[in-house]
Every structure is written in structure tokens, then in C-alpha cells.
Amino acid sequence: MYKYKKVHSLILGLILLLGNASFIYAEQVVNVDASTLIARAEISVNPSSATFIEGSIFEVPILLNTKGQSMNAIELNLKFDPNKLSIIKPSTGKSIIGIWVQPPKYDNTNGTASFVGTVPGGIVSDSALIITITFQAKNTGTTEIRVLDSSNVLANDGLGSQAILTSSRGLYTILPKSPGGLTIYSDTHQFQDHWYNNNSPTVAWNKDPKIVGFSYILDNKPNTIPDNKNILNETSKSYQDLTDGLWYFHIKSLNEGGAWGTTTHYLFRIDTTAPAKFKPKVDYIKTDNIDKALVSFFSTDSLSGIDHYEIGVIDKTQGETSSPIFVRSESPYQVPVSAVANSRVIIRAYDMAGNSTDIQTSVRPPTALARWFTNNSSIMLLLLLLLLVLLYLTHYLWGHKVLRKLQVISHLLQGKKGESVAEVVKEVEEVMDAKDEKTEEIKAVPEVKTNTTPELAVPVVQTPIVQMPETKLEIKPEVDENKQDIFE
């Protein structure tokens, strides 16, 4: 009986132990929050609320908060009231978008806008600028700019995971414009916020029956007040050949009682200069035995700014007289595969005033040899370095006679096998030093000058001229001592 109780106690203990283990395991599983593993992002409209005057122009930046994770693709869809607002232009100059999958587009009739692009390498930021949109306040009232639920943000995780997206909207109040003096309009420059390449504007205004005259002035200052002098009684004025820039037309009216009305201002934006010249860059990509070409380009305009680019592709085999069909595009532009082999791409840059600059570039994939050199540039650089090292070693061995010494050592070792290597090396150095000394002695011998003639070269040795002391010689006749003078 005691044995059965012991067995039961052992079984009960095992059951309790397993139960505690399963409880601990279950508790660990429950505490894991899987929602934290899902990417999140937020798109916000900035400013979230503001007040504008009817007819005014304002900018609305659209920002991205990646919530601490890397994002690399954005699809932005917006909705606004077309009766209250209209888009003047979207500006992509400072956007985080590196490649626009499709050009930015908007519809002022339906009040929609859409932008789709990618961020190469991804981005992590709490206020990254997606795009800046310029709006104009059309009518008074309250309106909003809203991010649609169809917008998407993809994580930079290699899988293109869709982030959980939250968004905010912008609420704006449009106030009526303060009453002015005259109503001004222009047939040549209809909108004051638009740029025109016409430098000869015409302006006109309405005339009340009680108005007897007007005073006006044209200058480059926005708030000039004309003098109280009646200049004309007409209702229009034209100017010719104005320089590029901002021009303001100021006018006020004079009524029958001699009172001057308030001044009305009208702005002319004139830009007749085309965008700056630029140099396109062509990059070639080969994937799946298919050549692709990406044309990158960028231009600037110092006054009105770049509005858009148009691309036209001409097949060179069709001749110079063929005309391309231009399509609106952004940089970089992928040349159609059918035209990569041999084509000419024309990039046309437009500024906000309608001026354009055309730049052409040829598209021709590199040869297999050129592509090999490009793809193996690091190997070629390594080989060049090895060649330089080899040349340096050769120069060192030859200049210091190392090879010659090794050769002599080899011969001596073969002839004197009993001697040690150190003795042989010492003997070789003595021999080499002796040879070097003899060589130096030979070089130190003075050069012997020779006097050559066309027939024979005879060495002429110059000897020093020794000046002998002067001596006087006395010549005496010889006298024979055995003979006597016969006259003695």
C-alpha cells in the first residue's frame, strides 16, 4: 500500500511540473505583441489649418512619417474641393522621391491629385517631404485637402510589405477679398500668378459713368501710389518690349466731385529667357540579355522656374527628316527597348512661361568589350597596380645589381661547396666593390684631346712650355798650346 502511495505522489508531481511548464510557455506566447512587427507610416498635410484671402496663392507640403522604419515606395492620392481650390502646380524639386513611377498628375475639374514614386535605398524620417503643391483660393468658405484611403506606403524590407497608414487633413478658411478701386483685366496676361513669355502686355479696366479720369504708373514696386494728376480718360493701356521680371501696373480713378479713389494694382510676370542648357547622362543596363537605357537630365531657370520636361525618341535609321512624338516625362527616362539599339533622344525643358530648350543625346549600348571593362574595372585597377609593383621591383633589382650578385654567389657556391654562404657573400661583395673602384678610377682619367683632320687623326699631346733662363755665350778661338804664335 505504501508503494502505491509513493507512485501516486510521483505521478502527481510530474503532472504539476508539466502544468507549470506549459503555463509558463503559454504566458510567454501571449505576451508577444505581433502588431509591433507590422510597419506603420503617417502622411500629413501641412499646415493642418490656415486662413487665406480669396484669390491668394499658397503652398501645401505633404509630409511622411515612417515611424522609425525604412520606407521606399509611396502612392499618394489627394482630394480637394474644386469650387474652393485649384492646383497651380506640383513642385517635385525637394521631394524625397528619387524615381517617379508615373508623372505627378492632378485634375482641377474633379478635385483630385495622385503621385506615385520610389525612394532608392529607403528613408527613415519623421517629416520627409513627399511633394509641395501650390494651390489658389478661388471662392470664400471653408474647405479641406484630404489624403484618400487608396494611398499606400511600402516598407523597405525586401518584400514590399504594405505599411499600416494613418493620415491627417488640412482645413482652410478662405476670406473675401477687401474691396478695391477699379476692376482690371488683361487679354495678354490673364492671370497675375502665371508667367508669360510675351513682353508687350495690354491692360484694361472698367469705367463708371461718374469717373472723369485716371492716374496710373508702371514700375517694379508692388505698392506704388500714382500721383494725383489726371493723365487720361481711356480704359486701356499697352506697353512694348518690357524687360524680364515683375512689373506692377498701378491705377486710381478721379470722380466728378474731384475725389480720388483707392489704388488698384495688377501684376505682369514676364520671362522670355529659355531654360539653361544641360547635358543628359545615359546609363546602360543589361538584364536578361535585354539592353535598357536610362536618360537622366536636369535643367534650371533663373526666373520663372522649370515647369516640366518632354521626351521625344527618333530612330536614326529613319533619317533626319522624321519628327518624334513628345510625351511628358520626368528624369530618369527609360528609353523603349525597341529604340535602344540606335536612337536619338530629344529632351525638351519648359519653364513656367512656356519657353523651351531642346537638348539631344544619342543612345547606343556599349560593345561587349567596353561593357567588360566597365564591369571589371576593379580587376583592371588591381592588374595595373601589380604591373607597377613589378616594374618597381625590376628597377630596384637591376639598379642595385642584386641579380648579378646572386649569379656570382651561385657560381661561387657551385665551385666552393665546402665554404659557408657567409664567406661567399663577403667575397662577392669584395669583388663587386673592387670592380666599382676600378670603374671609378677609369672614369677619373682626364680626357685626351685629339686634333683630327679629314685624312688622319693624330693625337696631339699638349706639353707644358718651360721657360729657360737667359745665358750669354762667349766664343773664343781655339789655341794650340804646342804651337806658338809665329809673330812672337
Q: Which residue has the cell 505633404?
A: 62
Q: 270-320, pLDDT tens digit by residue? A: 999 999 999 998 887 766 666 678 889 999 988 888 999 998 888 776 666
Cis ω for the linkage preceding 179 (within 30 of 0): no
Q: Which domains does the chain have, with CATH numbers?
A: 40-175 (2.60.40.680), 184-270 (2.60.40.10), 281-371 (2.60.40)
Return the pLDDT at 452: 47
Q: How far apart are CA 161 and CA 466, in angstroms?
A: 111
Instruction: Tell me the β-bridge partners of 76.
Output: 115
Question: In this structure, what C-alpha cell is assigned to residue 26?
Answer: 503559454
pLDDT at 87 over 80: yes
Q: How far apart are CA 89 and CA 83, in angstroms?
A: 17
Q: Which amino acid is at 444?
A: A
- Return the minimum-mean-pLDDT range out of 142-151, 254-263, 319-328, 339-348: 319-328
pLDDT band at 428 (very low <50, low <70, confident <90, very high): low
Return the pLDDT at 270: 95
pLDDT at 414 over 70: no
pLDDT mean over 312-340: 75
pLDDT at 337 over 60: yes
Q: How far apart are CA 217 and CA 252, in angstroms?
A: 10
pLDDT band at 334 (very low <50, low <70, confident <90, very high): confident
Return the pLDDT at 434: 63
pLDDT at 488 over 50: no
Return the pLDDT at 250: 92
Nearest to 295 by CA among 346, 334, 341: 334
Q: How far apart are CA 157 and CA 39, in angstroms?
A: 10
Return the pLDDT at 408: 67
Q: 100-130, pLDDT tens digit by residue? A: 888 788 999 999 999 999 988 888 888 888 9
Return the pLDDT at 200: 95
Return the pLDDT at 315: 76
3-state secondary structure of 43: strand
Contacts of 45 (CB under 8 A, 6+ apart): 60, 62, 145, 146, 147, 168, 169, 170
Q: How far apart are CA 230 and CA 214, in angstroms?
A: 6
Return the pLDDT at 431: 63
pLDDT band at 339 (very low <50, low <70, confident <90, very high): low
Q: Which amino acid is at 181?
A: G
DSSP string covering 203-252, please?
Answer: EEE---TTEEEEEEEEES-TT----S---B--SEEE--SPPSEEEEEEEE
Supply the mean pLDDT for the chain.
77
pLDDT at 188 over 80: yes
Q: How far apart are CA 296 and CA 405, in angstroms?
A: 61
- Which of residues 94 and 197 earns the better pLDDT score? 197
- Give the DSSP H or E segment for 385: helix 377-399
Instruction: Tell me the β-bridge partners of 166.
Output: 42
pLDDT at 76 over 50: yes
Buried/exposed 289-327: b ≥16 CB within 10 Å, e otherwise: eebbbbbebebebebbbbbbbbbbbbeeeeeeeeebeee
- Which of residues 260 and 441 earns the better pLDDT score? 260
Q: 451-482, pLDDT tens digit by residue? A: 544 444 445 445 455 455 554 444 455 544 54
Instruction: Specify which of 20-24, 76-80, 440-444 reaches the highest per-range mean pLDDT.
Output: 76-80
Cis ω for the linkage preceding 332 (within 30 of 0): yes
Q: How far apart are CA 110 and CA 355, in angstroms?
A: 29
DSSP label at residue 375? H
Q: 366-402, pLDDT tens digit by residue? A: 665 655 666 677 787 888 888 888 888 877 777 666 6
pLDDT mean over 15-38: 49
Q: How far apart are CA 252 and CA 250, in angstroms?
A: 7
Query: Is the dihedral angle over the CA atoms 24, 30, 31, 33 positive or is it negative?
Result: positive
pLDDT at 174 over 90: no
Q: 196-232, pLDDT tens digit by residue? A: 999 999 999 988 888 888 999 999 998 898 988 877 7
pLDDT mean over 420-436: 63
> Would you say 168 and 45 are in contact if contact means Cβ atoms under 8 Å apart?
yes
pLDDT mean over 48-72: 86
- Return the minimum-mean-pLDDT range out of 41-50, 438-447, 449-458: 449-458
Q: What's the pTM?
A: 0.44
What order do you get walking across the sheet with 290-296 strand by strand? 281-287, 290-296, 333-335
